[in-house]
Homo-oligomer: A and B are copies of this chain.
Amino acid sequence: MSNPIRIAILGYGNLGRGVELAVRANEDMKLVAFFTRRDPASLKTNTPGVPVYHMDQLLEKKDEIDVLMLCGGSAKDLPVQSVEYAKYFNIVDSFDTHAKIPEHFAACDKSAAEGGKIALISVGWDPGMFSLQRLLGNCILPNGSDYTFWGKGVSQGHSDAIRRIDGVADAKQYTIPVDDALLRVRAGENPVLTTREKHIRECFVVAEDGADLARIETEIKTMPNYFADYDTIVHFISAEELALDHAGIPHGGFVMRSGVTGLNGETQQMIEYSLKLGSNPEFTASVLVCYARAAYRMNARGESGCKTVFDVPPALLSPKSGEELRKNLL
């Protein structure tokens, strides 16, 4: 490609690393810089040719970047960074605190509109692809019910919650959809499911030497919000086992729309979308990167302000021309 889309990454954790790799898989893009709040010299990336700068230098590099990928966390980083940088850059973020999306949208919209840039927020798989499937399902089958199941996969928030318990050295928590619930939804039963009926929580815990295992198990299982409303399974394992068998960050899930059509709602219709992800951050990053292409193109044709996956014409996600897409994928 003669004029690749110039991508920069802010934040080099799992997601930033995923974006770095995803950019390589797209020939019309070029990774031009990493930015970090750490000492740039300390950052060892997988792309040695690409410079690492301190984030204080971001504005200096403004004209060399087409889209800035914000790879920080939703709790503290993105509410500040997305809003601030949308003034100067087309940005893509993966803000995933569902309840705060309207607020985040409003702040980013103001900032991006001011700067004449595109801020594409809450991109990834949930929010992101799952949201898109929920929207499509609702539009196609207005008479129906939505179901979203997550897993099997690692919940970082739940793993962290276990790690904060006294006597816990390390932990990993898997969210697992309950098979019976999936089957009932697929059968068109439209069940009303409790929290407990939808997901199981399975925990692999490394205890500190001499810790009271029974107390730890009780503290996990009774923890409000995180575990109390679920059937929770706790396994105590060694640090070696945790490192060997639970090093990955798999995830996935299901979005289902069960609806009816017909003269009197007599016809069952079922839409199901599912993901089985070997790596949650690598997949999320892959979604972010194709939406970066769309952000760049929307801005290039004069649009600005905050957008979500709901606002992006799908063809803008692809490096292929409309003609190629209609010929080969339609």
Contacts and interface: CB of A to CB of B under 8 A. Distances in A.
B267 A278 contact: yes
Interface string A255-273: 0000001110001111111
Contacts of A138: 318, 329
Interface string A262-292: 1100011111111111110011011100100
Interface stretch (A53-61, A139-147, A156-164, A213-221): A139-147
A102 B139 contact: no
A279 B269 contact: yes
Interface in A90-143: 98, 101-102, 105, 122, 127, 129, 131-136, 138-143
A279 B330 CA distance: 22
Interface stretch (A19-27, A36-44, A199-207): A19-27
A240 interface: no
A101 to B, nearest CB: 5
Interface of A: 18, 21-22, 25-26, 46, 98, 101-102, 105, 122, 127, 129, 131-136, 138-143, 186, 261-263, 267-279, 282-283, 285-287, 290, 293, 308-315, 317-318, 322-323, 325-327, 329-330
B330 A98 contact: yes
B275 A25 contact: no
Contacts of A322: 310-311
A317 B186 CA distance: 25
A136 B317 contact: yes
B282 A267 contact: yes
A105 B263 CA distance: 33
Contacts of A133: 273
Nearest to A98: B330
A269 B281 CA distance: 11
B286 A329 contact: no
Contact of A102 (B132, B278, B323): B323
A273 B272 contact: yes
Contacts of A268: 276, 278
B261 A135 contact: no
